[in-house]
């Protein structure tokens, strides 16, 4: 690691790898950092050392990540893995922790490519051991070959069907699939179908997964109106409401999923402006066509700025890299424009399916804003929906005051698994749109940092005293 780089990239998923490959190919001094020991992000996790013997289990889309990882490996970007990035300041001072030591370095350009996380799924019992996200089921499969027999998959969205299909291919018995997709979504998605037809093969792929699951004899129940998970110290059963009647399925493992949302904490704490996207029901980075944010020198690429999927992320990474190269005088305007043109076209094409997917798999209100007052919204501080509603009625103007009143969002996850629910809860209670509310104010360190690490930033102290 050096003290200064032309371009620093946060995240080694598809956007980050693509950006680093392009940027270093044009002579820029590039740093790329990630929390994980290996590249791939979550989507291509384990791609460089995949040891599952049967390649049909994870499927072709997964192994497509190999060429991206190969190209990146051939680049001469400085790759720092297994590191925590706890700060990107508006002046592009980057705080990195690795092996128990913290470092500060600077870059002329920073590309934040922090990817996605799963949308919170605040239902009764979602904090019980044995309840995990569908994404975590896939992480366990990709990185360790671990699966759970007789698990229940509940929720909505392509990733839910994909992981269930991967379980099916791997011969792992599934107890049930409880589909919460509202039936009315089909009608609302219909106007977006023409755009989606450019991606007929993707749609057909999804249909294939569902068809295979249904014809396998796996219990597949659609039109679920509500869910709760019960158990004393761990998951014992999942209960579901279907046509006004509650049913119960015993299970020790439940995988929940209702879409992915951008991982915005680092960019927000850097001062990048975000806005509420009502179609996608999450925060989006307010960036220009290059992914550049309002903070000079900081851009956002890939799912971290707004969900577009792995392929789109790759194009966005390339586009952001060319703009960073242009800004740092590594390429001329002409060269930038010629080079990004194909990526821009491909990105436009790639995004055509999104409005359809957003409408089709829009999670229903009761799974985003808990109806039951006893449901935990903030997992870290164990703050319930009822407590939040009570504080709003006491006059809490927004999430920041709410945090002070209830400790909601004050724990180690720093609002990552509650702030979306909180914003929607407050907006609903005050009968305003989420965009009219303030956002949870985030500050570094965006990930926990050891006190000794901060104390040992000696170079800084000596400079400043």
DSSP helix/strand/coil, 77: coil
Residue 438 within binding range of other proteins, rule CB under 8 A = yes
Judge contact between 10 and 112, C-beta under 8 A: yes
Provide, rounded to whole angstroms, the least separation between the CB of residue 409 and other proteins: 10
- Rounded to whole angstroms, the Cα distance separating 322 from 327 reads 9
At 400 the three-state DSSP class reads helix
As measured in angstroms, the least distance from the Cβ of 407 to other proteins is 8
Q: Please name the residue that has the structure tokens 């989507």.
A: 43
Beta carbon nearer to other proteins, 183 or 275? 275
**Per CB under 8 A, which region of 59-67, 205-213, 353-361, 403-411 contacts other proteins?**
403-411
The stretch among 290-298, 331-339, 364-372, 390-398 that binds other proteins (CB under 8 A) is 390-398
Distance (Å, rounded) from C-alpha 276 to C-alpha 158?
A: 23
Q: Which of 112, 451, 420, 459 lies closest to 268 in space, CA to CA? A: 112
Cα dist from 186 to 48, 182, 359, 364, 396, whole Å:
39, 8, 8, 13, 37
What gap in Å lies between CA 448 and CA 454, rounded to an integer? Answer: 11
Structure tokens, 142: 């990709």
Pick from 101, 146, 197, 204: which binds other proteins (CB under 8 A)?
146
Should residue 294 be labelled a site residue for other proteins when binding is judged by CB under 8 A? no
Residues 313-352 contacting other proteins, CB under 8 A: none
Size of the site for other proteins (CB under 8 A): 88
In angstroms, give the least distance from the CB of 40 to other proteins: 12
Query: Alpha-carbon distance 66 to 44, whole Å?
Result: 8
Q: Which stretch binds other proteins (CB under 8 A): 16-24, 153-161, 292-300, 394-402?
A: 394-402
Stretch that binds other proteins, among 179-187, 202-210, 300-308, 446-454 (CB under 8 A): 446-454
Q: β-pairing, 174-179 with 151-156?
A: parallel
Is the CB of 30 or the CB of 269 nearer to other proteins?
Answer: 269
Nearer to other proteins, 407 or 428 (CB): 407
Site for other proteins in 69-98 (CB under 8 A): 82, 87, 89-90, 93, 95
The nearest distance, CB 50 to other proteins, in angstroms, is: 9
Distance of CA 205 to the CA centre of its chain: 22
- 101 sits near other proteins (criterion: CB under 8 A): no
The whole-angstrom distance between residue 40's C-alpha and the CA centroid of its chain comes to: 14
Q: Which of 23, 14, 3, 34 is nearest to 320 (CA)?
A: 23
> Which residues touch 79 (CB under 8 Å, ≥6 apart)?
12, 20, 32, 33, 39
Regarding 59 and contact with other proteins (CB under 8 A), the answer is: no
Among 12, 143, 292, 375, binds other proteins (CB under 8 A): 143
The token pair at 182 is 């509202």
Q: Which residues ranging from 250 to 269 are in contact with other proteins (CB under 8 A)?
A: 252-253, 263
Minimum distance from residue 402 beta carbon to other proteins (Å): 8
Which positions from 118 through 137 interact with other proteins, judged by CB under 8 A? 118, 127-133, 135-136
Find where tokens 């992000």 sit: 41
Of 74 and 460, CB closest to other proteins:
460
User: Residues 44, 14: contact at Cβ < 8 Å?
Assistant: yes
**Torsion sign, CA atoms 430, 434, 436, 441:** positive
Q: In terms of DSSP bridges, do strands 254-258 and 151-156 run parallel, antiparallel, or are they unpaired?
A: parallel
Sole binder of other proteins in the list 326, 417, 421, 427 (CB under 8 A):
417
The C-alpha atoms of residue 21 and residue 59 are separated, in whole angstroms, by 25
CB atoms inside a 10 Å sphere around CB 12: 27
Q: Which one among 56, 67, 76, 149 touches other proteins, defined by CB under 8 A?
A: 149
CB of 203 to other proteins, least distance (A): 27
Binders of other proteins in range 185-244 (CB under 8 A): 233-235
Which lies closer to other proteins via its Cβ, residue 364 or residue 413?
A: 413
Site for other proteins, residues 4 to 43, rule: CB under 8 A: 35, 37, 42
Under the criterion CB under 8 A, does residue 421 sit at the interface with other proteins? no
Range in contact with other proteins (rule: CB under 8 A) among 276-284, 286-294, 355-363, 397-405: 397-405
């Amino acid at each position: 690691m050096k003290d200064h780089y032309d371009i620093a990239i946060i995240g080694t998923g598809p956007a980050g790898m693509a950006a680093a490959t392009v940027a270093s190919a044009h002579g820029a001094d590039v740093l790329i950092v990630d929390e994980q020991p290996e590249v791939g992000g979550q989507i291509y996790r384990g791609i460089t050392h995949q040891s599952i013997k049967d390649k049909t289990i994870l499927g072709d889309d997964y192994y497509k990540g190999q060429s991206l990882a190969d190209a990146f490996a051939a680049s001469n970007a400085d790759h720092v893995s297994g590191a925590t990035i706890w700060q990107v300041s508006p002046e592009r001072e980057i705080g990195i922790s690795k092996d128990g030591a913290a470092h500060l370095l600077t870059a002329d350009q920073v590309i934040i490519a922090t990817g996605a996380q799963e949308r919170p799924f605040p239902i009764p019992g979602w904090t019980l051991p044995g309840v995990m996200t569908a994404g975590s089921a896939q992480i366990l499969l990709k990185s360790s070959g671990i699966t759970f027999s007789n698990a229940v998959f509940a929720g909505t969205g392509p990733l839910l069907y994909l992981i269930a299909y991967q379980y099916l291919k791997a011969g792992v018995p599934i107890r049930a699939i409880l589909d919460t997709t509202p039936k009315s979504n089909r009608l609302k998605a219909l106007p977006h179908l023409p755009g989606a037809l450019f991606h007929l093969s993707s749609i057909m792929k999804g249909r294939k997964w569902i068809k295979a699951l249904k014809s396998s004899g796996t219990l597949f129940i659609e039109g679920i109106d509500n869910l709760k998970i019960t158990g004393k110290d761990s998951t014992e059963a999942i209960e579901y409401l279907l046509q006004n009647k509650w049913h119960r399925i015993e299970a020790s493992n439940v995988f929940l999923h209702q879409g992915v949302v951008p991982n915005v904490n680092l960019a927000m704490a850097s001062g990048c402006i975000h806005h509420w996207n009502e179609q996608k029901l999450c925060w989006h980075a307010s960036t220009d066509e290059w992914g550049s944010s309002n903070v000079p020198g900081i851009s956002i690429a890939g799912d971290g700025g707004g969900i577009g999927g792995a392929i789109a992320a790759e194009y966005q990474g390339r586009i952001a890299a060319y703009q960073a190269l242009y800004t740092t005088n590594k390429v001329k305007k002409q060269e930038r424009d010629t080079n990004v043109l194909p990526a821009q076209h491909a990105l436009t094409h790639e995004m055509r399916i999104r409005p359809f997917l957003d409408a089709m798999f829009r999670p229903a209100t009761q799974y985003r804003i808990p109806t039951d007052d006893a449901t935990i919204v903030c997992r870290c501080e164990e703050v319930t929906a009822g407590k939040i509603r009570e504080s709003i009625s006491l006059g809490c103007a927004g999430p920041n005051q709410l945090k002070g009143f209830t400790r909601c969002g004050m724990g180690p996850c720093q609002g990552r698994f509650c702030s979306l629910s909180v914003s929607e809860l407050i907006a609903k209670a005050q009968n305003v749109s989420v965009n009219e509310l303030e956002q949870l104010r985030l500050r570094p360190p965006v990930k926990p940092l050891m006190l000794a690490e901060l104390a040992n930033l000696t170079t800084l102290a000596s400079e400043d005293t």
